[in-house]
Homo-oligomer: A and B are copies of this chain.
């Protein structure tokens, strides 16, 4: 099996590094994760850190092409790579990639992020999600949802990502649960309550006044209607429901429409429930889209 190793994909974020060793068909052979995110390294120390982390694989298999993506290509990373502009597919992402030879002879390919220059008031940005969408495949036009701390809604058109929009749903949820007066008092450790989640979604569907709706996390408790066990899921329903409502109003889908969820940040099941409440039919992408996308863009770069 060792002889099959054909490439490495490194997803290098702010607080962690995840590396995957794959065969020529993109199947995972081995993977590892460290907490050596870019925030823990000084400028100039990245190559050493990467070589050390990957040394077991590199000494077994020799030089291998390595795709690196994530915050590693941001201003605070190893090298800042300009965002590629929408519309873009694998060819455009490859054209924006930066190739470098490591001291053991490996080709390292830094994959760029993507920007949507049409978004107001400022161009929107993503770094990593565009690789997942590319890995999912761009053959079919349609709406793609990538749930996350900063969820993305993207439009695929004519084989490219035509545009996208960010919703900071996950971060607002975390702020409300961890730092606010509004939603403090939720049971610890966290309790998930599917009915309370659905309740939050329904309330979000009926309200355009988000700054007022959020206060219901507090008034529900005062009214004795919302328990500490329900609070977390209710708040999650409110904010994800607001994302679906706002994404609909922004034109990303219509009632009775379809969308595909790509990526897996642990939120997909919740997003499927939300889509159902908002009458949006969901197809699920595969789990290995990041690897597939990274290999696809790297192949374009090295060819």
- Give A269 Cβ to nearest chain B Cβ, in Å: 20
Residue from the set A171, A207, A247 with the largest chain B CB neighbour count within 10 Å = A171
The reply to whether the CB of A223 lies closer than 8 angstroms to some CB of chain B is yes
Confirm or deny: A249 has a beta carbon within 8 angstroms of a beta carbon on chain B. yes
A62 at the A/B interface (Cβ < 8 Å)?
Answer: no
Is there a chain B Cβ closer than 8 Å to A250's Cβ?
yes
Task: Chain B residues near A216: list those with CB within 8 A.
Answer: 121-122
**A58 CA / B276 CA spacing, docked (Å):** 64
Known: A180-B175, A210-B246, A239-B211. A219 touches B169 (CB 8 A): no
Per-residue CB contact flags for chain A residues 199-231 toward chain B (1 = under 8 Å, else 0) read: 000010011111110111001101101100000
Encode A166-208 as 1/0 by CB contact (under 8 A) with B: 1111011001101111100000000000000000000100111
Chain B: CB-nearest residue to A221: B122
Judge whether B167 and A246 touch: CB under 8 Å. no
* Given known A171-B180, A175-B179, contact A246–B211 (CB-CB < 8 A): yes
Report the minimal beta-carbon distance from A230 to chain B, rounded to whole angstroms.
12
A178 to B225, CA, bound (A): 31
Q: Which of A242-271 contact B (CB under 8 A)?
A: 242-243, 246-247, 249-250
- Which residues of B are found within 8 Å of A211, using beta-carbon distances? 167-169, 172, 210, 239, 242-243, 246
Q: Is the CB of B208 within 8 A of A249?
A: yes
Within 8 A of B (CB), among A142-181: 150, 165-169, 171-172, 175-176, 178-181
Whether A166 contacts B121 in the complex (CB less than 8 A), given A171-B182, A208-B246, comes out as no
Taking CB atoms, residues of chain B closer than 8 Å to A175 are: 175-176, 179-180
Inter-chain CA distance A281–B12, complex, in Å, is 52
A288 interface hit (Cβ, 8 Å): no
B-contacting residues of A (Cβ < 8 Å)? 119-125, 150, 165-169, 171-172, 175-176, 178-182, 203, 206-212, 214-216, 219-220, 222-223, 225-226, 239, 242-243, 246-247, 249-250
Question: What are 6 A-B interface contacts by the 8 Å CB criterion?
Answer: A166-B219, A167-B209, A172-B211, A179-B179, A210-B242, A211-B242
Please list the 6 inter-chain residue pairs (A to B) with the smallest Cβ-Cβ separation, ordered nearest first.
A209-B246, A122-B219, A167-B211, A175-B175, A179-B179, A166-B215
